[in-house]
Structure 1
Amino acid sequence: MSSSETTTAPASTTTKHDGTVRLDHVVHRYGRGSANVTAVGPVDLTVPVGEFLVLVGPSGCGKSTLLRLIAGFERPTHGAVRVSGAEPRPGTAAGVVFQTPRLFPWRTVGGNIDLALRYAGVDRAHRPERRARLLARVGLEGTEKRRTWEISGGQQQRVAIARALAAENPLLLLDEPFAALDALTRERLQEDVRRVAAQTGRTTVFVTHSADEAVFLGSRIVVLTKGPGTVALDLPIDLPRGDVDAEELRESREFAELRARVSHEVKAAAAHGHRPGEPTDASMQGIEERTSQS
């Protein structure tokens, strides 16, 4: 399995994994020479244990870049990223759910889960029980023998979520996993993810364009400016996170007010982008030159 497809792996036995995330003055750049562009940063951010952080902002603001840095798929140009106190490694730092399910079509639903369990170090004898629990957690009981093309797009994303949960990593990363789904399926999966996060207590970082989705899911929302992405708003969300009626929550006055505020901030971030006092590409180039000379 390639690193881009691996969503789970055995946890380290020498490091205590608690799922905390820390970004210290993180800057990430792409390209070289005149084509060198700052995609994100500087960003300073700490995500404590059990928090559901939603990153929201306009296209090109660096949301997915930050998620890849946290997952260990890329390393920052400047600054440091730490997950559970250590530099993240692909496949071990977190369970990851992408925009598309990335399931293996030659395997059944259960076979996809079993592969993740094998990479998580679960012995063969215990896999059926673990597989059944994972499928039940995402509402897919009895589907283990079905082929991936025999289930809907929403069900495929549920399989992807179950696969990401297989290793029981304390950190879950989701990169716009519902963007391609219809509105009804999207709302149902939002409710599922919210419930799973509450049940497992995992630290979660979720990327979205949607203010509505951000407010429904997050216990905290960070709005990023347009590229290079920096923090425009860091907002705690004080909405019930236990056993609540999803429709009642979405129709509440508090939800509407928060959604309106986040939507306003996203539009403002898209319109104004870089804020006064933040380094531009030119100033970042100067920082790099001074660093290389020191």
Structure 2
Amino acid sequence: MSSTTSTDSDPAAAPAAPARGAVSISGAVREYGRGDNRVRALGPVDLQIPAGDFVVLVGPSGCGKSTLLRLVAGFEPPTDGTVQVDGAPPVPGHSSGVVFQQARLFPWKTVGGNVSLALKYAGVPRAERRDRADELLDRVGLAGTYDRRIWEISGGQQQRVAIARALAVPTSLLLMDEPFGALDALTRERLQADVREVDAESGRTTVFVTHSPEEAAFLGSRIVVLSGRPGTVARDIRSTLPRTDVDPDELRERRDFVELRAEISAAVKSAAAQERRGDRR
């Protein structure tokens, strides 16, 4: 039998497929308006997010954090450059699960009904939806709430339902746009701990938008600080804090956590100061 060389039969010679949940942002720009009213809100941004990273976007108000998240979600196209999830342009509702600042639940459906609807669109057979929804609700600390009405649960619990609904989407990428911004401090800390735990269990890639250096330090395996508008990557900080087997309250008291929070805060303040100096020119 003659010997032949083929990239089709040689895995080492074939190009590697993108890892599930990987995000690639290259020269991404987003502008709004036309002509003299055209405004650049973001970019250019170059950012590579390997599968499994928990990246927190933080920066001055109006720097384009949520705009960048919308590009990754596929809700808006970049004006220039490329945004890809798993090697292809993102498709809304298919490339990622998304949690917004407001829960955006359907008030006429039960807690479980909201999660089951996401499972329906994900193609889960009807006979399996109840059990799967119960599993997801249990994962976010809402065991036994399937039949409760949305108005019967607190704002923090509603956000837990929104997270469970996003986890119902069979994607490797979760996007969260300041999901705890409207909650009280205690509920916020509890949900931060829940999200950290869910991240450790699921292994999904997560991109999380916040304006809080404390939240960024607590949640992120990487913290990307954006400059003032138009937002670009000013700092990319890798956290060395443990991701598992650590008590949330103890984590917040650690010296390396306090130092990381201070580093992020200083970077955000520096970005805001540079923007103000640019406005005065």
TM-score (norm 1): 0.87
The residue type paired with residue 261 of structure 1 is E
Q: 1:273 aligns to what SS in structure 2?
A: helix
Q: Tell me how far apart the structure 2 counterparts of residues 267 and 167 of structure 1 sit (CA, whole Å).
A: 36
2:118 is aligned, of 116, 119, 134, to 116
**Alpha-carbon offset, residue 16 of structure 1:** 7.8
Q: Deviations over 1:12-58 (max 9, x none)?
A: xxx98700000001111011111100000010000001000000011
Q: In the alignment, does 2:63 pair up with 1:61?
A: yes
Q: 2:208 aligns to what SS in structure 1?
A: strand
Identity across the alignment (%): 66
**1:31 matched residue in structure 2:** 33
Which structure has the greater CA radius of gyration? 2
Q: CA RMSD in A?
A: 1.6
Structure 2: tracts of 5 or more residues without a match: 1-16
Runs of 4+, deviation exceeding 3 Å:
none
**Conservation of the 8 A alpha-carbon contact between 1:228 and 1:274:** no
**1:254 matched residue in structure 2:** 256
TM-score (norm 2): 0.91
Q: Tell me how far apart the structure 2 counterparts of residues 16 and 122 of structure 1 sit (CA, whole Å).
A: 26
Structure 1: tracts of 5 or more residues without a match: 1-14, 277-294
**Conservation of the 8 A alpha-carbon contact between 1:95 and 1:169:** yes
**1:175 matched residue in structure 2:** 177
**Conservation of the 8 A alpha-carbon contact between 1:56 and 1:210:** yes
**2:226 matched residue in structure 1:** 224
Q: In the alignment, does 2:131 pair up with 1:126?
A: no
Q: Tell me how far apart the structure 1 counterparts of residues 257 and 163 of structure 2 sit (CA, whole Å).
A: 26
**1:272 matched residue in structure 2:** 274
Equivalent residue runs for 1:18-167 within 5 Å = 18-167=20-169
**Alpha-carbon offset, residue 128 of structure 1:** 1.2
Q: Tell me how far apart the structure 2 counterparts of residues 271 and 118 of structure 1 sit (CA, whole Å).
A: 48
Q: Tell me how far apart the structure 1 counterparts of residues 249 and 102 of structure 2 sit (CA, whole Å).
A: 26
The residue type paired with residue 208 of structure 2 is F
The residue type paired with residue 192 of structure 1 is D
**Alpha-carbon offset, residue 274 of structure 1:** 9.1
